[in-house]
A and B are shown apart, each in its own frame.
Chain A
C-alpha cells in the first residue's frame, strides 16, 4: 500500500503579505525548501501561486506524499487548504518539481517565472485533469474564492 503512487491537488489561501518585496523572499524560501525535501522523498509536481493563492499538484508514493502534506498543513504561510483530488495514479507525469506564477496582476513577476509557468501549465493539465486544471486556473486568475 505505501508503495502506491498517488496524486494530490489542493488549493489554499496565501497568508503572506501582498507586497512583492515581502512575498518574493518567502516564495523563494518555499521553492528552495520544497526542492530539497521533495527530491529527498521522491515527490514531484508543481506549485502555482499568485498574490492570494497557492495551488499545488503533487505526485509520489503514498507515505511520502502524506508526510509532505502534513508539513504543508502546518505551514502558517497559507490556510484554508481545500483538497481537490487525492487519487491513485498509474504513473508519474512530472519528472521533477517546479513552480510557476499564475495570475495577470503583475507583469514583471509573471515574466520572472514565465519559463516555469509554461511547463507547469502543460504538466499540471495532464496530471490534474482538464476539469481540475481549468478550475485551478480560473481560481488563480480571478483570485476569487
Chain B
C-alpha cells in the first residue's frame, strides 16, 4: 500500500495532476494515513488517522508523535524508526487491534497507515470447516466479537443466512458424498459472489452464512442476496449428475446497541424462515413482526405439547342423519382444544402446528381411543367417524393404535369409521394402502373425506374400496347453483356404481337438505340438523330425534 503512495507529486510533472487527485482522495477518504519524519513526529495526517490517536495526545497541542499509539515500555516503534526499511506492527487499541504499517524511509519521510488487524487466514481446524474450508461457528463468534468491539458508523454489518431448499433430497437420492460435493460447490459459488468482501461460513449441515459490511445499505445487500439466490438456482453438474436446487436467504443487520449477537443470528433465522415459507428461492429481510409471530407460534407450540397431559382436549360429536327417514345413523367426532389462555381452539388453528411438531401422533391416538370409548357407551350402535391426519400413517403406529382402542373399548370395529383426506394418498401411496387394507380387514370402515376438492383422483378410488365418500361441503353450502348440483349428482352416481355409501357435509338449509335427498345422497350432516355437541348431550338429542321420527 505504502509503495503505491510514495511516488511523490513534486518530482514528476507529468503525473502531478493525477497525484493531486490521489492526494485529494486520500485526504477526504476514510483511510488512516500519515506522513512522519525520521524521528516519528507526525508531519501530516488524514482525519481518520488523527481520530485513532489518543485524545489526550491531540488535546495537549504541540507536535503529535507516533509513539502516542504505543505504551511507554514498547520499544518496537523505536526499532522500526531506527531502520530505513518498512515493517508492520500489531498494536492494541481501544477499538480493537490495529496493524500499523511503517513505510520505508523516503526523502520526505515515511508513510504510516493504520488498519484493523486481521488474523492471517491460515487453515485453523478450530475455526474452519474441514469439508468446505469455510470458517465455522467459532470463526463466526470471532467475527461477531470483533463487530462488537468496534463501532462502524459508516456501514451496516450484515448477516445473510442461507439454506438450500432441496439439499435433503439430494442427500437422500444421490448419497452423502454427492451431497458433500454439492456443499463444496455451493461454498465456491458463495465465495465467488462475495469476491473477498466479507466471509462465507458454514455453521453445519447445509446452513451457510455470509457476513459482510455494506456501506450502501440496503442496496448492496439486496444485490448480494439476489446474486446468491440466482447463482445457487443455477444447475450444478456433480459426479455425473445434474443437480438443481434453490436457496432461501434471511438477512439481518448487526445492532451495536443490542450487545447480544445471538439475537442477530435469531433474526437472520426468522427472516430465513419467512423466505422459506414465502415460497423459497428468495430472500427476506428481518422485520420485528417476524419475531412477535415466531414468539406467538412458540408459545402455542409449548402449550400444545402440554395440552394432552393437562387433559385440555375434548371431542364433540356432530350427528349424521340418514336422509331416507331422518333418523340418526352416526356421529362425527370433532376435536376441540380448550386452552386456558386461548379458550376454545378449533382444529384448523392447531392441527397444522401439531403435524409440524409431531404431536399429531399422540393427539390422533387420543382422539381414536376416546371416540371408541365414548361411542361404546352410547345407547344405540351408531357409527362414529374420526378424522385421521395423513401424517398418522407414518411410522406404522396407526394400525396398532386403532386395534388397541377397539380392544380397550370393546367397540364393534364396524362402527368405527376413519376419515382420511385424498392428500393422505398422494405420497407413499403404497405404504398407506397397505395400512388401509389392514384396517379394513379388522372390520373398520374407511371414508374418503372432502371429496371433490384437491385432485379428486379417480385412481385413488380404484386402488382402494372406500366404504364411504364424503362430499365436500363447498358443493353443498351457500345458495345451490346448477353446476354444484350436477357435480353432486355425478359424485353420487359414481359412488353408487363403486358400491360406496355417501354423506354430504355442511348442510345448513332446508333447500340443501331437499336437493341432497332428491339426488339420492345417503347421509348428511350440518347445522341444519344439529351442531357438534358434547358427549353428555348425545342421549337427550337422540331421544328428541327418536320422538320426531317416530311422530313423523
A interface residues with partner B (beta carbon < 8 Å): 1, 4, 6, 8, 62, 65-66, 69-70, 73-74, 79, 81, 83, 86, 88
- Taking a contact as CB atoms under 8 Å apart, the answer to whether A86 and B242 are in contact is yes
Q: Which residues of A contact B240 (CB under 8 A)?
A: 1, 4, 6, 62, 86, 88
B397 at the interface (CB under 8 A from A): no
Q: Which residues of A contact B242 (CB under 8 A)?
A: 83, 86
Q: Which residues of B contact A6 (CB under 8 A)?
A: 240
B237 at the interface (CB under 8 A from A): yes
B234 at the interface (CB under 8 A from A): yes
Give me 11 other A-B pairs in contact (C-beta within 8 A), A70-B236, A83-B242 excluded.
A65-B237, A66-B237, A70-B185, A70-B237, A73-B189, A73-B231, A73-B234, A73-B236, A83-B237, A86-B240, A86-B242
Q: List 8 A-B contacts (CB under 8 A).
A: A69-B237, A70-B236, A73-B236, A74-B231, A79-B230, A81-B234, A83-B235, A86-B237
- Taking a contact as CB atoms under 8 Å apart, the answer to whether B237 and A8 are in contact is yes
Given A74-B189, A74-B192, decide whether A66 and B234 contact each other with a Cβ distance below 8 A: no
B238 at the interface (CB under 8 A from A): yes
- Taking a contact as CB atoms under 8 Å apart, the answer to whether A73 and B235 are in contact is yes
Q: Which of B229-248 contact A (CB under 8 A)?
A: 230-231, 234-240, 242
Q: Which of B200-233 contact A (CB under 8 A)?
A: 230-231
B234-278 toward A: CB 8 Å interface, digit per residue (1/0)?
Answer: 111111101000000000000000000000000000000000000
B interface residues with partner A (beta carbon < 8 Å): 185, 188-189, 192, 230-231, 234-240, 242
Q: Which residues of A contact B234 (CB under 8 A)?
A: 73, 79, 81
Q: Which residues of B contact A81 (CB under 8 A)?
A: 234-235
- Taking a contact as CB atoms under 8 Å apart, the answer to whether B235 and A70 are in contact is no
Q: Which residues of B contact A70 (CB under 8 A)?
A: 185, 188, 236-237
Q: Which residues of B contact A62 (CB under 8 A)?
A: 239-240
| B230 nearest in chain A by CB position | A79
* Chain A CB within 10 Å, residue with most, of B230, B235, B237: B237
| B234 nearest in chain A by CB position | A73
A86, B185: Cα distance in complex, Å: 18
| Majority secondary structure, B binding face | mixed
A60, B242: Cα distance in complex, Å: 16
A23, B490: Cα distance in complex, Å: 63
A-B pair number, CB within 8 angstroms:
35
Q: Which residues of A contact B231 (CB under 8 A)?
A: 73-74
Q: Which residues of A contact B235 (CB under 8 A)?
A: 73, 81, 83
- Please list the 3 inter-chain residue pairs (A to B) with the smallest Cβ-Cβ separation, ordered nearest first: A66-B237, A69-B237, A73-B234
| A8 nearest in chain B by CB position | B237
Given A74-B189, A74-B192, A74-B231, decide whether A1 and B236 contact each other with a Cβ distance below 8 A: no
Q: Which residues of A contact B236 (CB under 8 A)?
A: 70, 73
A33 to chain B, nearest CB (A): 16
* Chain A CB within 10 Å, residue with most, of B192, B230, B240, B242: B240
A74, B192: Cα distance in complex, Å: 8
Q: Which residues of B contact A1 (CB under 8 A)?
A: 239-240
A128 to chain B, nearest CB (A): 16
A69, B239: Cα distance in complex, Å: 12
Q: Which residues of A contact B239 (CB under 8 A)?
A: 1, 62, 66
A4, B231: Cα distance in complex, Å: 27
| A86 nearest in chain B by CB position | B242
A69, B234: Cα distance in complex, Å: 11
A35 to chain B, nearest CB (A): 21
A66, B192: Cα distance in complex, Å: 17
- Taking a contact as CB atoms under 8 Å apart, the answer to whether B189 and A66 are in contact is no
B484 to chain A, nearest CB (A): 41
A119, B475: Cα distance in complex, Å: 65
B7 to chain A, nearest CB (A): 31
Q: Which residues of B contact A86 (CB under 8 A)?
A: 237, 240, 242
A144 to chain B, nearest CB (A): 21
| B238 nearest in chain A by CB position | A66
A79, B370: Cα distance in complex, Å: 59
A4 to chain B, nearest CB (A): 7
A112, B390: Cα distance in complex, Å: 64
Q: Which residues of A contact B238 (CB under 8 A)?
A: 66
A130 to chain B, nearest CB (A): 22
A62, B240: Cα distance in complex, Å: 7
A6, B189: Cα distance in complex, Å: 23
A8, B236: Cα distance in complex, Å: 12
A74, B195: Cα distance in complex, Å: 12
| A1 nearest in chain B by CB position | B240
A70, B237: Cα distance in complex, Å: 7
A73, B244: Cα distance in complex, Å: 12
A86, B242: Cα distance in complex, Å: 8
A83, B231: Cα distance in complex, Å: 15
B190 to chain A, nearest CB (A): 11
B267 to chain A, nearest CB (A): 30
| B240 nearest in chain A by CB position | A62
Q: Which residues of A contact B192 (CB under 8 A)?
A: 74
* Chain A CB within 10 Å, residue with most, of B185, B192, B235: B235
A73, B231: Cα distance in complex, Å: 8
A66, B184: Cα distance in complex, Å: 13
A4, B239: Cα distance in complex, Å: 10
A88, B236: Cα distance in complex, Å: 17
A107, B236: Cα distance in complex, Å: 36
A70 to chain B, nearest CB (A): 6
| B181 nearest in chain A by CB position | A66
A66, B234: Cα distance in complex, Å: 14
A72 to chain B, nearest CB (A): 10
A1, B240: Cα distance in complex, Å: 9
A145 to chain B, nearest CB (A): 17
| B241 nearest in chain A by CB position | A86
A121 to chain B, nearest CB (A): 25
A83, B244: Cα distance in complex, Å: 11
A2, B63: Cα distance in complex, Å: 68
B195 to chain A, nearest CB (A): 11
A5 to chain B, nearest CB (A): 11
* Chain B CB within 10 Å, residue with most, of A66, A79, A81: A66
Q: Which residues of B contact A73 (CB under 8 A)?
A: 189, 231, 234-236
A1, B238: Cα distance in complex, Å: 12
* Chain A CB within 10 Å, residue with most, of B192, B234, B236, B239: B234
| A67 nearest in chain B by CB position | B237
